[in-house]
Amino acid sequence: MTGTAPGLRMPDADARVLARRSDIIADLKAIVPGEGVIAHEREMRPYESDALTAYKQLPLVVVLPSTTAQVAAVLKYCHDNEIRVVPRGAGTSLSGGALPLEDAVLLGLGKFNKILEIDTPNRCAVVQPGVTNLGISKAVDHLGFYYAPDPSSQIACTIGGNVAENSGGVHCLKYGLTTNNVLGAELVLITGEIVRLGGKHLDAGGLDLLSVVIGSEGLLGVVTEVTVRLLKKPDTARAVLVGFPTSEDAGECVARIIAAGIIPAGIEMMDKDAIAAAEAFVNVGYPLDVEALLIVELDGPEAECAHLLEEVTRIAQACNSVTLRVSTSEAERLGFWAGRKAAFPAVGRLSPDYLCMDGTIPRRQLPFVLARMRELGAKYGLRCANVFHAGDGNLHPLILYDANAPGELHAAESFGADILRLCVEVGGVLTGEHGVGVEKRDLMDTMFNEVDLAQQQRMKCAFDDKSLLNPGKVFPTLHRCAEFGRMHVSGGALPFPDLPRF
Amino acid sequence: MSDIIAARDEAEVADAVRTALSAGKTLEIRGHGSKRAVGRPSQTDLTLDLSALTGVTLYEPEELVLSARAATPRADIEDMLAASGQMLAFEPMDPAPLLGSAAGAGTTSGTLGGLFAVNLSGPRRISHGAVRDHALGIKAVSGRGEPFKSGGRVVKNVTGYDLPRLMAGAFGTLCVATEITLKVLPRPPMEETLVAKVASPEAAAAALSAAMGSSCEVSGAAFLPEGVAGRLPGLSGSPAVVALRLEGVAPSVSARRTMLRAVLAPFGAADVLETDASRALWLGVRDVAPFCGLGERAVWRISTEPMAGPALAARLAADLGGEAFCDWAGGLIWLCLPGESAHGDAVRAALAPHGGHATLIRATAAERARTPVFQPLDTALAALTKRVKESFDPGLVLNPGRMHAGM
Ligand SMILES: Cc1cc2nc3c(=O)[nH]c(=O)nc-3n(C[C@H](O)[C@H](O)[C@@H](O)COP(=O)(O)OP(=O)(O)OC[C@H]3O[C@@H](n4cnc5c(N)ncnc54)[C@H](O)[C@@H]3O)c2cc1C
Ligand SMILES: Cc1cc2nc3c(=O)[nH]c(=O)nc-3n(C[C@H](O)[C@H](O)[C@H](O)COP(=O)(O)OP(=O)(O)OC[C@H]3O[C@@H](n4cnc5c(N)ncnc54)[C@H](O)[C@@H]3O)c2cc1C
């Protein structure tokens, strides 16, 4: 049994590995003693999927190492024995990045949950990959510092998962994504070799390999330590809640704020369905008679916030805003955010199931994309609510469906795929922060041609020569590395016939 | 002097690389050659001249994005951005003054491709990130002679590996970039700099750390020892100081000036450099003005943990008889030695306990041939780096040996 949803083809399981399962378990127990190896079906259940719950698969075995040496030994063993490995943090991936394979070891990093060093003079912290995103900010809160990227899942998701997905949050317009806030990492290669990339200093002395490890979705190596940049908390943060009669007006307002040279800490947009769902859920006083709602947050010194709030207010009014509220207290500011942050569960109440999409578009394409999405919704007979990191063009359409209604999952997936194709068509990309995983894997060719994808996979082979790390994710087809080695140089007819003498 | 192939577009770049590959020849990739004096002196059979690949192909100020062909002069891009009140926020260094004609470098400030390939970010690196942090997308030709693209034109993008970032700082050893897409940012309407005397390198580190650890949003933080400081605009005759830049809208800068004064109070009183003087100072720091015009005296660029920087700079300068100062809140040391000898072993041994990397930026060709220009890699990382190089350029056609011998 494949266990996964119909339509998703994962790499064929290696029968030789399946046949040796009990030997493999015994060998792994010798490397990670005690509770660190989980092989009973019932105990493996919690690991059978991540937050993309449409896909489920029990792994070969779950291994929970607690030291880098154990990770290195497990990976070397798997490399020597040609066993696949799927790394996992907290399992909150929305793209199926941590989906197990029947013939693969699921390598959970949950036991790597220590903060190793807090170094505020150098404005950084060294942490293990299983520490949660919020755990880092909490550990330095009393010192007045925080870790900037703030995914909505920050209570649960791990920094190792954030590194693998290059996660963002509502404040990344001003403060950047994971990649802009990670200084260093310890990486264990599938061969068991350990490499350190970066550290407390800036930039790389040679090739900047850290930059490709971040966002590599567990395909290049296992991260066992992360050095993150810490920032001082801003003195003040204030938000303004603005309602518009059309999404065009809201989009125009965002464009003009940025054209005026203002980079707010965050600009979020919600459409009518999302506003209604959020207001019903948290009751924070969102206007219900507007087509689009913007939350614009400004942070910094009090004087700067006050100055920029005036500017933003002026711009919003010039863009036909119909309601406008500036937060006057911290409680009110948090209230503005409460609705947005609860948008996923709020929409979840409207419908038994929903799919969260994650395309990015050039901002000015927003009205066109929203209109096309409405047409697509009508075509598939499904509703779709939109929340949008408007500042950087990252769209999160939430497609509502009922998995128990025959055909609806399939319709929802087709609708989602059409939305992502649309994003690419208007100059955007398939995924802004949730990753390709298995979910968008088969759409990669809408953005990249064969040569583009082959070049990416060749680089993967430089890290993982046997394609053992997280196979079946990101790339539509699994090739052996040797196939990429071939050169297609036609020896006879050389281009550049007029070239200077070789 | 190797033969020069001039390519006018992506197809010609691909043809040139394929031709070189099948003929077993190596290529030096050149924009304007302004940084040719940097890196290991490499011997290539041919030079691929990209200087005809010019032109901005997309600029949408309200979307904060710009794309240009690889050899578009940096000056053209900066002028175009300035006209819309925007900038390259990473404040790229112009190496021409430092390298000078003595090092055989050109006189232009270079091309977008060159600037991108060397990932040389200026003082604003500490608050706004490096070149690589602004790299959104790339079109390039690999060492296999195949055109490919990676990334896109939007900031939030995790579709596939982040190859544009890897290309930044690869010194043209992985691929030939033909078009680059960058994130651009609004230029702050005003700036000023607070300058405070410091009694010792340790006090400098503490003052820089206090400023960076405050909510003042400092966007330039340098330690300028006596002697070096005096050779920067606006600081003539100055004793050892720390300089801290504030940028933004007027009400914000003025509020932060008050806050920063309070942060610096334990270290002493601070003077203010207004906008023009502040700008001149940071341009001098960015382009290493104190060490320009000193012939081929060896210059190192060292990145380390910020708290260790000032004392390490002072020690290296004292031990080797040179001069040094720090940018990046202490984390970037510029070290100028008294002669042409690079003293690579001594520099790297002193750096080792703190971690980081030392790059030999200015030196005679003989010295660059003798001393590893880039930080030597440990065994596992060297092997991985070589495999990555070969995954883009299996025939070692592109700038072979520019970064590391044998790759
Ligand atoms: C560690 C370090 C070293 C530096 N070394 C130098 C240096 O040696 N010389 C220098 O001028 N500046 C150097 N700089 C600064 C910066 O590289 C230059 O200012 C650059 O912008 C000059 O542009 P150019 O077009 O003249 O580049 P060039 O001197 O022509 O090229 C610079 C480098 O980029 C590569 N390159 C150029 N165009 C492309 C392209 N389209 N695709 C791929 N690779 C390309 C070249 O092969 C070369 O390795 C350095 C910065 C740092 C941090
Ligand atoms: C309600 C909800 C809201 C969310 N909001 C956001 C948001 O605002 N922004 C955002 O960007 N994302 C968001 N996400 C997505 C998700 O939380 C992030 O992708 C997160 O980074 C995943 O972390 P994790 O620890 O759960 O990783 P997992 O789901 O366990 O794994 C994710 C990927 O990382 C790999 N991996 C994990 N740990 C390691 C490691 N140590 N070494 C190598 N590879 C590893 C796995 O193989 C897998 O490919 C949200 C998810 C949910 C459920």
Domain of A123, CATH number, reads 3.30.465.10
Mean pLDDT in residue range A324-335: 94
State whether B60 and B146 are in the same domain.
yes
A240, containing H or E segment: strand A236-244
pLDDT at A343: 87
pLDDT at A482: 85
- Residue after which a domain boundary falls, among A52, A80, A108: A108
State whether B26 and B142 are in the same domain.
yes
Distance CA A461, CA B391 (A): 8
- Give the count of beta carbons closer than 10 Å to the beta carbon of residue A15: 9
Whole-number mean pLDDT of chain A?
A: 93
Distance CA B118, CA B323 (A): 24
pLDDT at A117: 98
Identify the band that residue A499 occupies on the pLDDT scale cut at 50, 70 and 90: very low
The answer to whether residue B400 sits within a structural domain is no
Nearest Cα residue to A46 out of A94, A6, A85, A98:
A98
For the record, the structure tokens of B276 come out as 């023009």
The percentage of residues in chain A with a pLDDT greater than 90, rounded to a whole number, is 86
CA of B108 to the centre of ligand 2 (A): 45
pLDDT at A367: 86
Identify the band that residue A180 occupies on the pLDDT scale cut at 50, 70 and 90: very high
Domain of A420, CATH number, reads 3.30.70.2740
State whether A321 and A355 are in the same domain.
no
Question: Ligand 2: does its nearest atom lie under 6 Å from the Cβ of A471?
Answer: no
CA of B212 to the centre of ligand 2 (A): 30
| Ligand 1 atom nearest residue B121's Cα | 53
Determine how β-strand B299-303 pairs with β-strand B332-336: antiparallel
Distances B277 to A42, A144, A468, B232 between C-alpha atoms, Å? 70, 33, 57, 10
Q: Within 13 Å, how many C-alpha atoms sit on residue A275's CB side?
A: 21
Whether B394 and A485 lie within 8 Å, measured CB to CB: yes
State whether A119 and A59 are in the same domain.
no
> Could you give the strand order of the β-sheet that contains B135-142, starting from the edge strand earlier in sequence?
B56-60, B65-69, B175-183, B135-142, B147-151
| β-bridge mates for residue B59, sequence order | B66
Q: Is A480 exposed, middle or buried (0-12, 13-18, 19+ CB in 10 A)?
A: exposed
Domain of B203, CATH number, reads 3.30.70.2190
Give all strands (DSSP E) within A352-454, no chain letters: 353-356, 384-389, 394-401
The answer to whether residue B377 sits within a structural domain is no
The answer to whether residue B399 sits within a structural domain is no
The answer to whether residue A55 sits within a structural domain is yes
A314 DSSP 8-state letter: H
| β-bridge mates for residue A415, sequence order | none
The answer to whether residue A457 sits within a structural domain is no
State whether B71 and B174 are in the same domain.
yes
State whether A264 and A313 are in the same domain.
yes
Task: Looking at the complex, report in whole angstroms how far the Cα of residue A245 sits from the nearest Cα belonging to chain B.
Answer: 22
Question: Ligand 2: does its nearest atom lie under 6 Å from the Cβ of A92?
Answer: yes
Question: To probe the interface with B, which of A203, A365, A460 has the most B CB atoms within 10 Å?
Answer: A203
Mean pLDDT in residue range A350-376: 92
State whether A19 and A96 are in the same domain.
yes
Distance CA A366, CA A251 (A): 7
State whether B71 and B11 are in the same domain.
yes
Whole-number mean pLDDT of chain B?
A: 93
Q: What is the number of domains present in chain B?
A: 3
The dihedral formed by the CA atoms of B359, B364, B366 and B367, expressed in degrees to the nearest 10: -40
Please determine, for residue A501, whether its predicted confidence score (pLDDT) is greater than 60: no
The answer to whether residue A475 sits within a structural domain is no
CA of B33 to the centre of ligand 2 (A): 43
For the record, the structure tokens of B356 come out as 């980081």
Question: To probe the interface with A, which of B91, B148, B159 has the most A CB atoms within 10 Å?
Answer: B159
For the record, the structure tokens of B254 come out as 């003025």
Question: Within an 8 Å CB–CB cutoff, is residue A498 touching chain B?
Answer: no
Distances A78 to A346, B20, B85, B276 between C-alpha atoms, Å? 43, 40, 55, 61
Nearest Cα residue to A399 out of A5, A167, A154, A52:
A52
- Residue after which a domain boundary falls, among A442, A462, A492: A442
- Give the count of beta carbons closer than 10 Å to the beta carbon of residue B303: 27
- Residue after which a domain boundary falls, among B132, B165, B186: B186
Distance CA A142, CA A135 (A): 13
The answer to whether residue B376 sits within a structural domain is no
State whether B139 and B180 are in the same domain.
yes
Q: Within 13 Å, how many C-alpha atoms sit on residue B162's CB side?
A: 35
Distance CA B321, CA B316 (A): 8
State whether A287 and A376 are in the same domain.
no
| Range from A188-192, A404-408, B42-46 carrying the lowest mean pLDDT | B42-46
The answer to whether residue A226 sits within a structural domain is yes
Identify the band that residue A483 occupies on the pLDDT scale cut at 50, 70 and 90: confident
Do the Cβ atoms of A308 and A298 come closer than 8 Å?
A: yes
Question: Within an 8 Å CB–CB cutoff, is residue A259 touching chain B?
Answer: yes
Do the Cβ atoms of A25 and A61 come closer than 8 Å?
A: yes
Cα of A106 vs its chain's centroid, Å: 20
pLDDT at B363: 94
Q: Is B347 exposed, middle or buried (0-12, 13-18, 19+ CB in 10 A)?
A: buried
The answer to whether residue A337 sits within a structural domain is yes
State whether B341 and B242 are in the same domain.
no
Nearest Cα residue to B121 out of B84, B65, B168, B170:
B168
Do the Cβ atoms of A106 and A62 come closer than 8 Å?
A: yes
- Give the count of beta carbons closer than 10 Å to the beta carbon of residue A501: 4
State whether B25 and B112 are in the same domain.
yes
Please determine, for residue A85, whether its predicted confidence score (pLDDT) is greater than 50: yes
pLDDT at B251: 93
Of A120, A204, A432, the CB nearest to B169: A204
Tokens 């690999």 locate to B142
Do the Cβ atoms of A408 and A401 come closer than 8 Å?
A: yes
Determine the angle formed by the axes of helices A302-318 and A247-259, rounding to 10 degrees: 140
Domain of B154, CATH number, reads 3.30.465.10
CA of A164 to the centre of ligand 2 (A): 7
Of A211, A431, A453, the CB nearest to B162: A211
The answer to whether residue B391 sits within a structural domain is no
The answer to whether residue B151 sits within a structural domain is yes
Do the Cβ atoms of B45 and B20 come closer than 8 Å?
A: yes
Whether A215 and B254 lie within 8 Å, measured CB to CB: no
Q: What is the number of domains present in chain A?
A: 4
pLDDT at A487: 57
Do the Cβ atoms of B217 and B256 come closer than 8 Å?
A: yes
Question: Ligand 1: does its nearest atom lie under 6 Å from the Cβ of B141?
Answer: no
| Ligand 1 atom nearest residue B398's Cα | 47
Question: To probe the interface with B, which of A455, A456, A460, A475 has the most B CB atoms within 10 Å?
Answer: A455
pLDDT at B236: 79
Whether B157 and A212 lie within 8 Å, measured CB to CB: no
DSSP sequence for A36-83: GEE--HHHHGGGS--S-TT-----SEEE---SHHHHHHHHHHHHHHT-
Task: Looking at the complex, report in whole angstroms how far the Cα of residue A39 sits from the nearest Cα belonging to chain B.
Answer: 33
State whether B162 and B56 are in the same domain.
yes
Residues of chain B positioned with their CB less than 8 A from the CB of A212 = 161-163, 165-166
The dihedral formed by the CA atoms of B252, B256, B257 and B262, expressed in degrees to the nearest 10: 160
Distances B284 to A500, B193, B222, B297 between C-alpha atoms, Å? 43, 13, 11, 18
Distance CA A369, CA A422 (A): 7
The answer to whether residue A476 sits within a structural domain is no
Identify the band that residue A54 occupies on the pLDDT scale cut at 50, 70 and 90: confident
Distance CA B214, CA A449 (A): 47
| β-bridge mates for residue A296, sequence order | A240, A267
Nearest Cα residue to B360 out of B309, B278, B296:
B296
- Would you call A183 helix, strand, or coil by DSSP? strand
Of B132, B149, B217, the CB nearest to A300: B217
Distance CA B189, CA B169 (A): 30
pLDDT at B34: 61
* Stronger pLDDT, A467 or A485, i.e. the higher one: A467
Domain that holds residue A24: 15-108
Identify the band that residue A386 occupies on the pLDDT scale cut at 50, 70 and 90: very high
- Would you call A417 helix, strand, or coil by DSSP? helix
The answer to whether residue B103 sits within a structural domain is yes
For chain B, give the secondary structure using H, E and C: CCEEEECCCHHHHHHHHHHHHHCCCCEEEECCCCCCCCCCCCCCCEEEECCCCCCEEEEEHHHCEEEEECCCEHHHHHHHHHHCCEECCCCCCCCHHHHCHHHCCCCCCCEHHHHHHHCCCCCCHHHHCCHHHHEEEEEEEECCCCEEEEECCCCCCCCCCCHHHHHCCCCCCCEEEEEEEEECEECCCEEEEEEEECCCHHHHHHHHHHHHCCCCCEEEEEEECCCCHHHCCCCCCCCCEEEEEEEECHHHHHHHHHHHHHHHHHHCCEEEECHHHHHHHHHHHHCCHHHCCCCCCCEEEEECCHHHHHHHHHHHHHHHCCEEEEEHHHCEEEEECCCCCCCHHHHHHHHHHHCCEEEEEECCHHHHHHCCCCCCCCHHHHHHHHHHHHHHCCCCCECCCCCCCCC
Distances B338 to B40, B224, B253, B297, B359 between C-alpha atoms, Å? 21, 18, 40, 6, 17
Distance CA B14, CA B11 (A): 5
State whether B84 and B168 are in the same domain.
yes
Of B166, B217, B357, the CB nearest to A211: B166
Contacts of A292 (CB under 8 A, 6+ apart): A243, A244, A246, A247, A249, A250, A269, A270, A271, A272
State whether A192 and A207 are in the same domain.
yes
The answer to whether residue A470 sits within a structural domain is no
Do the Cβ atoms of A151 and A136 come closer than 8 Å?
A: no
Do the Cβ atoms of B100 and B68 come closer than 8 Å?
A: no
The answer to whether residue B387 sits within a structural domain is no
Measured between alpha carbons, how far apart are the two ends of chain B, in Å?
22
The answer to whether residue A338 sits within a structural domain is yes
State whether A139 and A241 are in the same domain.
no
Contacts of A309 (CB under 8 A, 6+ apart): A238, A240, A298, A326
Domain that holds residue B22: 3-186
State whether A122 and A226 are in the same domain.
yes
Residues of chain A positioned with their CB less than 8 A from the CB of B187 = 261
Distance CA B178, CA A52 (A): 38
The percentage of residues in chain B with a pLDDT greater than 70, rounded to a whole number, is 95
- Would you call A410 helix, strand, or coil by DSSP? helix
Distance CA A252, CA A320 (A): 10
pLDDT at B100: 78
Task: Looking at the complex, report in whole angstroms how far the Cα of residue A500 sits from the nearest Cα belonging to chain B.
Answer: 7
State whether A223 and A289 are in the same domain.
no
For the record, the structure tokens of A265 come out as 């800490």
How confident is the model over B211-220, as pLDDT tens digits? 999 999 999 9
Question: Within an 8 Å CB–CB cutoff, is residue A117 touching chain B?
Answer: no
State whether A208 and A272 are in the same domain.
no
Determine how β-strand B27-30 pairs with β-strand B46-49: parallel
State whether B156 and B208 are in the same domain.
no
- Residue after which a domain boundary falls, among A181, A214, A232: A232
State whether B34 and B180 are in the same domain.
yes
Question: Within an 8 Å CB–CB cutoff, is residue A205 touching chain B?
Answer: yes
State whether A31 and A134 are in the same domain.
no
Do the Cβ atoms of B292 and B94 come closer than 8 Å?
A: no
pLDDT digits (tens), chain B, 407 positions: 468 899 999 999 999 999 999 999 999 998 876 655 556 666 789 999 999 999 999 999 999 999 999 999 999 999 999 999 999 999 999 888 898 754 344 456 789 999 999 999 999 999 999 999 999 999 999 999 999 999 999 999 999 999 999 999 999 999 999 999 999 999 999 999 999 999 999 999 999 999 999 999 999 999 999 999 999 998 877 899 999 999 999 999 999 999 999 999 999 889 999 999 999 999 999 999 999 998 889 999 999 999 999 999 999 999 999 999 999 999 999 999 999 999 999 999 999 999 999 999 999 989 999 999 999 999 999 999 999 999 999 999 999 988 888 88
